[in-house]
Copies of this chain bind each other. A is one copy, B any other.
Amino acid sequence: MSQTSTEREEVTIRFAGDSGDGMQLTGSLFTNTTALEGNDLRTLPEFPAEIRAPAGTVPGVSSFQLHFGSKEILTPGDKCDVLVVMNVAALIANLSLLNKGGTIIANTSGFDSRNLNLANYEGDVSPLEDDTLSQYNVLEIDVTKLTKESLSESDLGYKDKERCKNMFVLGLLYWMYSRPLDSTISFLEKKFKDKPDIAEANVKVLKEGYHYGETTEVFSSRYSVKEASLEPGTYRNITGTDATVLGLVSAAHQSKLPLFFGSYPITPASDILHGLSKQKHFGVYTFQAEDEIAAVSSAIGAAFGGSLGVTSSSGPGIALKGEAIGLAVMLELPLVVLNIQRAGPSTGMPTKTEQADLMQAMYGRNGESPAAIVAPRSPADCYNMVFEACRIALEHMIPVMFLSDGYLANGSEPWKFPQTQDLKEIEIKFEPARTNGDGEKFLPYVRDDRFVRSWSIPGTKGLEHRVGGLEKEDLTGDVSYDPDNHEKMVMQREAKRDKIADFIPPQEVDNGVENGETVVLGWGSTYGSIRTAVHELRTEGMDVSHIHLQYISPFPRNLEELLKGYDNVLVPEINNGQLVRLIRDKFQMKAIGINKIKGRPFGVEELKQEIKAAIPSKSNA
C-alpha cells in the first residue's frame, strides 16, 4: 500500500508529556535531525514552574515546540500543526496551542482513569471518547503498550522499557516527515555506550515507531519539508544560553584577559554559570557568590585587578546590584552585567519571559549614573551582543548591561558559527609602569579622546593610586567636593557613555524602506515575531518597515534621523512601554507602544493585527 507525500513550506510540532516522559530530549533530537536536513528552525522548551510536580498532573507537564521550514524561520511558531501528548494532562495544558484542524498524536495509555484523575479532568469520559477533539485529526496510539511489546525479548526492567516510549513517537514522526534516523541512532549509541542494552532498546523502539508509520494505515499521508535557502556555510544549533557562554569566552580570548564570572544562581540566568564552570581550561574563573551584591562586587574587584569582570542575574537580583554598579560607574572600570529578564515585578513569574527591566537598566541607580545597554535579538545573537558588551566595557571603561530574557536563553536556532579568525580584536592596554625617575604624580583620571581613563592595575610600579565612590577630582582622581568639578565629572561620565555611539555600527533598516509611512521599532527578543509580521504585512502590500535595536544606550547616531523618516513609529514590547518612553523623551517624537504583558512572546498573527490597528488611529491624528 502506498501513502501520498505532501510538501510543506513550514511545520510546527509540539511535544508534550509528563516531566518524566523525556519530551525535551525527543524535541531536541528531532531538532538536530531537522537541522542536519538543512531546514531553518526555531525551538522553545517550556518547563513546569515546579522542580518536579507530581506525575500526571497539569503543572507537571513539560513541552517542547519546534518550528521548521524551507523558508526563513524566526519564531517557534504561534501555534502548532502537530501536537504530541503523552497523557491527558499534556492535552489539557496544550490544546489551546494547536491550530484548528491540526493533528493530535495521543498516547492512549496516558488517558486511562488514573490519568484523568491526576489531571483532574472535568469530563467523565476521556476526551478521546467524547467529541472534545472533533475539530482535530486525532491519532490514538497505545505507545506504552507498543513499546513494551517491541521490547518483549529484552531483559530490561519494566521501568527501563517504559522509558523508551518517547523513541517510538520520535521514530513515528521521523517517518511522517521523511527524516533519516542515523544521527539519532549514533547519538543514542554514544549516550548509552556503557549501557549497550539500553542503547539497543532505544534504537529498536525508534525503528519500531518508524516502521509503525510505514506499515499501518493510520496516516493518510506523509510530509516533506525542503532545505531552506540558508546562507552557505557550516552551521550548528545553539541556545541563547550557550551562545552567551561562548560569547564571553570569545571576548576573553580576543582581549587576552582572564574571564572572572561572579554570579548568584537565579532562573533563568543560572545556566550561564553552569556553562562557564565547564570552561575552566579556557582560564575561566567562576565564583558562586553568597548573593548578588557579592557577585557584582567580586566582578568589580577582578576588574580592578585587570580581568574581564562579568556578573549575571535576573530582575530581582539586578535590583540588588544597583548600588555596586553605581560604584563601577564612578570607578570607571569595565564591568559587564547580564540580565536574563523574566516576568516581574518582584519574584513575578520566574519561568516566564518579559522585557520589563529596560528602565531599571537605564535608571536603576542613585544619582546621574550612565551605563551602556545592549540587547541580543535572537538566541544566536546572544553571542554577538555579549561579545559587544565586553568590547564596549573594556574599550570604554564603563559598566555595560546586557538585556536578554528567558525566551532567548532557552530558545535555539541554527547558527553559522564563526571561527577565531572571524572575530574582532578587543583593544585593551594597561597603563605602563613608571620608573621612579620622574617624580611627577600619576594621574589616574586623565582621559583620552574617547573620554576614557587609563586602566592602571595593581602590580604596576609607579601607578600606586586610590579610587573610590566619592566624587573624583578631574585628572587626579582625588576626592573632591568642588561644585564645578562635580558638574564637570557628571558631564564627562555621560559624554563617555554617549561617545560609544562612534564605535558601534549605524542603525540599519532590517526590512523595508528608509522613508515610509510606518516603522515598527523593536529591541531584543521580539525580533523574530516583528520581522515575520512585517514581512507578511509588506507582502500584503502595506507600507511598513522594521528597525530593530541591539544598541540601546547610547542609541546609534543615525537613529533619530531614521525614525523621523516615517509618519508612524510603532514600538512593540513585552512590557508596559519602556523603549517607547526613551524614544519619546530623547527624540521628542510621538511614538506608539504595542504592549503585551503575558510572560509570552508576541504571536505573529496578533502582532499583525496590533500593527494594523495602531496605524490608522495614528495617521488621522
Binding site for B on A (CB under 8 A): 49, 293, 314-316, 318-320, 322-323, 326-327, 329-330, 343-349, 351-352, 354, 356-357, 359-360, 362-369, 468-471, 481, 483-484, 486-487, 490-491, 493-494, 575-576, 581, 584-585, 588-590, 596-600
Q: When the two chains form their complex, are residues A369 and B345 in contact, meaning their CB atoms are under 8 A apart?
A: yes
Expressed in whole angstroms, the Cα–Cα distance for A344 and B491 within the complex equals 13
A319/B322 in contact, CB under 8 A: yes
Q: List 21 A-B contacts (CB under 8 A).
A: A49-B481, A319-B322, A319-B364, A327-B347, A329-B346, A330-B345, A344-B368, A345-B366, A345-B367, A345-B493, A346-B367, A346-B369, A348-B471, A354-B367, A357-B366, A357-B367, A362-B363, A486-B597, A494-B576, A581-B585, A588-B590
In the bound complex, CA of A363 to CA of B366 (Å): 11
Which 8 residue pairs spanning A and B have beta carbons closest together?
A344-B367, A315-B366, A347-B469, A483-B598, A345-B367, A359-B363, A346-B469, A345-B369
CA distance A611 to B354 in the complex (A): 42
CB-CB under 8 A from A575, the residues of chain B are 368
CA distance A356 to B369 in the complex (A): 9
Measured in the bound complex, the distance between the Cα atoms of B339 and A366 in whole Å is 10
Which one of B354, B481, B584 contacts A349 once the chains associate, using CB atoms below 8 Å? B481
Q: Are B352 and A326 in contact (CB under 8 A)?
A: no
Q: Measured between alpha carbons, how far is A357 from B365 in the docked complex, in Å?
A: 8
Q: How far is the CA of A143 from the CA of B362 in the complex (A)?
A: 55
Given A323-B316, A326-B345, A471-B343: A596 and B487 interface contact (C-beta under 8 Å): yes
Contact A597 B490 (CB under 8 A): yes
Q: Contacts A356-B367, A366-B356, A575-B368 hold; do A326 and B346 have CB atoms under 8 A apart?
A: yes
Q: When A319-B365, A320-B322, A366-B318 are in contact, do A471 and B329 touch as well, CB less than 8 Å?
A: no
B470 touches A348 (CB 8 A): yes
Bound-state Cα–Cα, A364 to B361, Å? 8
Verify B349–A598 contact, CB threshold 8 A: no
Contacts of A322 in B (CB 8 A): 319-320, 322, 360, 364
CB of A488, distance to nearest CB on chain B (Å): 9
Once the chains are docked, how many angstroms separate the CA of A315 from the CA of B469? 13
Per assembly, the copies of the chain total 2
B351 touches A360 (CB 8 A): no
CB distance from A325 to the nearest CB of B (A): 9
Known contacts: A326-B316, A599-B481. The answer to whether A368 contacts B345 by CB under 8 A is: yes
Query: B357 contacts A360, CB within 8 Å?
Result: no
With A346-B326, A360-B363 as given contacts, are A368 and B597 in contact (CB-CB < 8 Å)? yes
A497 to chain B, nearest CB (A): 12
Distance in Å: Cβ of A467 to nearest Cβ of chain B = 11
Q: In the complex the two chains form, what is the Cα distance from A360 to B323 in whole Å?
A: 11
Contact A600 B483 (CB under 8 A): yes
Q: Smallest CB–CB gap between A313 and chain B, Å? A: 10
In angstroms, Cα B349 to Cα A469, docked, is 9
CA of A343 to CA of B367, assembled, Å? 7
Bound state CA distance, A494 and B577, in angstroms? 12
Residues A468 and B366 in contact, CB atoms below 8 Å apart:
no
Docked pose: A362 CA to B588 CA in angstroms? 20
CB distance from A340 to the nearest CB of B (A): 12
Nearest B residue to A331 via CB reads: B346
The reply to whether B349 and A326 contact each other, CB–CB distance below 8 Å, is no
Q: Looking at the complex, which one of B323, B487, B581 makes contact with A597 (CB distance below 8 Å)? A: B487
A302 to B329: give the CA distance in the assembly, Å. 35
Question: Nearest Cβ distance between residue A276 and chain B, in whole angstroms?
Answer: 23
Identity of the chain B residue whose Cβ is nearest the Cβ of A330 in the assembled complex: B346
| Alpha-carbon distance between A314 and B481 when the two chains are bound, in angstroms | 18
Which residues of chain B are within 8 angstroms of A491 by Cβ–Cβ distance? 576, 597
Name which residue of chain B comes closest to A315, CB basis: B366
Give the residues in chain B near A345, CB-CB below 8 Å.
326, 329-330, 365-369, 493
**B residues near A581, Cβ cutoff 8 Å:** 585
Residue of B320, B352, B584 near A323 (CB, 8 A) is B320
Chain B contacts for A588, CB-based, 8 A: 584, 588-590
Is B330 touching A323 in the complex (CB atoms < 8 A)?
A: no
Chain B proximity of A338: nearest CB distance (Å): 14
Among A293, A345, A365, A600: residue with most chain B CB under 10 A: A345
Question: A241: shortest Cβ distance to chain B, in Å?
Answer: 20
Is the CB–CB distance between B367 and A469 below 8 Å? no
Complex-state Cα separation, A330 to B362, whole angstroms: 22
Q: Which of B316, B320, B362 contacts A320 (CB 8 A)?
A: B320
Bound CA span A316–B320, Å: 11
Closest B residue to A576 using CB positions: B368
11 additional A-B pairs beyond A345-B367, A348-B367, A483-B598, beta carbons within 8 Å, are A319-B365, A320-B323, A326-B346, A344-B369, A345-B366, A351-B481, A368-B597, A481-B599, A483-B600, A487-B597, A487-B598
Partner of A471, one of B316, B349, B365: B349
**Distance between Cα atoms of A137 and B173 in the complex (Å):** 98
- Least CB distance, A356 to chain B, in whole angstroms: 5
* A354 contact set on B, CB distance < 8 A: 367
A345 CA / B360 CA spacing, docked (Å): 15
A353 to chain B, nearest CB (A): 11
Residue of B nearest to A363 (CB): B359
